Amino acid sequence: MNKPLTAEAGEKKTELEFVPAIAVFHCRWCLPDSDSVRSLLNEEVAAKSVVIPLNCTARMEAEFAIKALSEGFDGILILGCEIGECHYRTGNHRALKRLLLLRDILALVGIYPERLGFFWVSPFDQENIRLTINEYLDKLQELGSFK
Amino acid sequence: MAENDERARIEEARRIASDLLENGVVMGVLGLRRVESHVEPYLFTTKDELRDLNISGRYAIARVAENLLRRWDEGALGIIIRGCDERHLIELSKKKSVDLKRIITIGLACTDHEAKECHCLRPYPQKIDVGKSIGDVDYQDHETLARLMEMDISERRRFWSDIFNRCIKCYGCRNSCPLCNCEDCRLEESRWVRVGEIPPEFPSFHLIRAFHMADKCVGCGACERACPMGIPLGKLHQLIREDMKRLFKYETGLNPEDESPLQNDLEKNPLEVQLDEL
Ligand code: SF4
Ligand code: SF4
């Protein structure tokens, strides 16, 4: 899955620069459209990634993330509504707890917990979402491939 | 001396059990008896049978109690338990599959040596009838647990992926656990774990189970003892229990009224950690 990408003509990228593949799960209340979520990723990452809408981050089960790692994704990014803004009132509370715990469990077995990124975002601040995602991707780049 | 202690402990257990039987308050006393080189669960119904009682073996006996109570329409069960067995029973009662009112326990405090063997952090039941509690144990006092925590993240990755790679997917870990008993198990679904492949892909199989057990596991170590490949699952679970305490101040198996923090919102169970790192 993580074969080095060959640099395209005209680009100055070195051949071996690592491009992470990520699985993105987003709440469809704050971010209704998967295509626009995908457009927040840089092109190379987007090409290797999947973007999956959830009705609420509460739907995000630990298995989704664990399986994504097993299948060769380098990171899992979860985007949901800010605490207090959940359409179902407290769906994201549950997601938050579950994801915090999962992060700890990943770290226990030696998986960088930063691979699991979860961010509560406001749909009215797309710029902030873009920045958040970029920071997350920079971190993944630093960590390198999961496998 | 140690042998005398052991003798005193078993005599005390026998005495309490036979009192229960004699007074007719229980249909029987569930405990362990030695058969050749192993122990098995046994329902003692007469004083004489208590000759074969064994209190040094390890056996996750709560599931047997659960089955017995289900089979009897009424009546109470006596049961000789360690701290972990008591926690199993409490967790089973949270799931409404054991009625604690029908159980009379004979609580056994584990010895220092036993607690070490199990890497136990709470080697005593709440009601102790036999032996003396050594109190809570810090995870750092168990050498292996401390060592696992001292490893840096890449050492851990190497350690756990190597050791999980030994797995032959016998499902012994799942089957031995009284609390790992969903009717439909994700570990058997091809969507989550590839069927017919060993070792299972890292980290699917083991982390799915670890996560599912995080708010139920009582740290009894039965999964680890069941594993034919020597995978230290019990130690992993002890460390996850520490995480549950740190994140949510939650510990399983203490009070039947407690609810898992994962089932509740932040108002009901606030976090114990600061979120500014998010
Ligand atoms: S230690 Fe293992 S067998 Fe015991 S309760 Fe936890 S998961 Fe189940
Ligand atoms: S008991 Fe051990 S070998 Fe069997 S499935 Fe569990 S971890 Fe794998």
Span A44-91, pLDDT tens digits: 999 999 999 999 999 999 999 999 999 999 999 999 999 989 999 999
The Cα–Cα gap between B142 and A98 comes to 28
Residue A125 is part of a domain; what is its CATH number? Answer: 3.40.50
Q: Does some domain include residue B151?
A: yes
The residue contributing the CA closest to ligand 2 atom 1 is B227
Q: Does some domain include residue B58?
A: yes
Q: Is residue B227 in contact with ligand 1, taking CB distance under 6 Å?
A: no
Q: Is residue B231 in contact with ligand 2, taking CB distance under 6 Å?
A: yes
Q: Is residue B222 in contact with ligand 1, taking CB distance under 6 Å?
A: yes
Cα→Cα distances B32→B123, B165, B213, Å:
18, 34, 26
Domain total in chain A: 1
Do B150 and B56 fall within a single domain?
no
Q: Does some domain include residue B7?
A: yes
Residue in this structure with the two tokens 């680890």, named with its chain if needed: B224
Q: Does some domain include residue B100?
A: yes
DSSP element (H, E) containing B103: strand B103-107
CB A116 within 8 A of CB A74: no
**In this predicted structure, what is the pLDDT of residue A7?**
42
Q: Does some domain include residue A3?
A: no
In the Cβ-directed half-sphere of B170, how many Cα atoms lie within 13 Å? 14
Do B148 and B218 fall within a single domain?
yes
Task: Tell me the one-letter amino acid at B227.
Answer: C
Q: Does some domain include residue A15?
A: no
Task: Decide if B203 and A66 are in contact by the 8 Å CB cutoff.
Answer: yes
The residue count of chain B comes to 278
**In this predicted structure, what is the pLDDT of residue A28?**
96
Q: How many CB atoms lie within 10 A of CB A2?
A: 16
The Cα–Cα gap between B31 and B64 comes to 10
Per-residue exposure over A120-133, b if at least 16 CB sit within 10 Å of its own CB, e if not: bbeeeeeeebeebb
Residue in this structure with the two tokens 């009897």, named with its chain if needed: B72
Q: Does some domain include residue A66?
A: yes
Average pLDDT, chain A: 90
Task: Decide if B207 and A83 are in contact by the 8 Å CB cutoff.
Answer: no
pTM for this entry: 0.91
Do B173 and B273 fall within a single domain?
yes
The residue contributing the CA closest to ligand 2 atom 6 is B173
The residue contributing the CA closest to ligand 2 atom 8 is B167
Q: Does some domain include residue B132?
A: no
Residue A83, SS3?
coil
Distance from CA of B259 to the nearest CA of A (A): 13
CB B94 within 8 A of CB B127: no
Distance from CA of B204 to the nearest CA of A (A): 6
A97: which chain B residues are within 8 Å (Cβ-Cβ)?
A: 247-248, 261-262, 266, 269, 271
Supply B255's token pair.
């009070």
**In this predicted structure, what is the pLDDT of residue B269?**
77
Q: Does some domain include residue B146?
A: yes
Which ligand neighbours the alpha carbon of B91 most closely? 1
The Cα–Cα gap between B128 and B124 comes to 7
For A76, the domain range is: 22-132
The beta-carbon neighbor of A67 closest among B192, B262, B267 is B192
* Mean predicted confidence (pLDDT) in B93-98: 95
User: Where does the pLDDT of residue B181 fall: very low under 50, low under 70, confident under 90, or very high at 90 and above?
Assistant: confident
Q: pLDDT at residue A1 above 60?
A: no
Q: Is A1 on the interface with B (CB under 8 A)?
A: no
Do B146 and B113 fall within a single domain?
no
Domain total in chain B: 2
Quote the Cα angle for B124-B125-B131, to 5°.
60
Distance from CA of B168 to the nearest CA of A (A): 17
Helix then strand count (H, E) for chain B reads 10, 5
A93: which chain B residues are within 8 Å (Cβ-Cβ)?
A: 265-267
Q: How many CB atoms lie within 10 A of CB B114?
A: 17
Q: How many CB atoms lie within 10 A of CB A11?
A: 10
For B92, the domain range is: 2-118
Strand ranges across the sheet with A116-121: A50-54, A22-27, A75-81, A116-121
B187 Cα to the center of ligand 2, angstroms:
12
Contacts of residue B207, defined as CB under 8 A and 6 or more positions apart, other chains included, come to A62, A66, A105, A106, A109
Q: Does some domain include residue B134?
A: no
* Mean predicted confidence (pLDDT) in B58-82: 95
* Mean predicted confidence (pLDDT) in B173-197: 92
CA B244 to chain centre: 16
B120 Cα to the center of ligand 1, angstroms:
12
Q: Is A16 on the interface with B (CB under 8 A)?
A: no
Contacts of residue B1, defined as CB under 8 A and 6 or more positions apart, other chains included, come to none
* Mean predicted confidence (pLDDT) in B68-97: 96
Q: Please give the sequence-ordered ranges of beta strands (E in DSSP) within A10-140, or none if there are none.
A: 22-27, 50-54, 75-81, 116-121
Do B99 and B176 fall within a single domain?
no
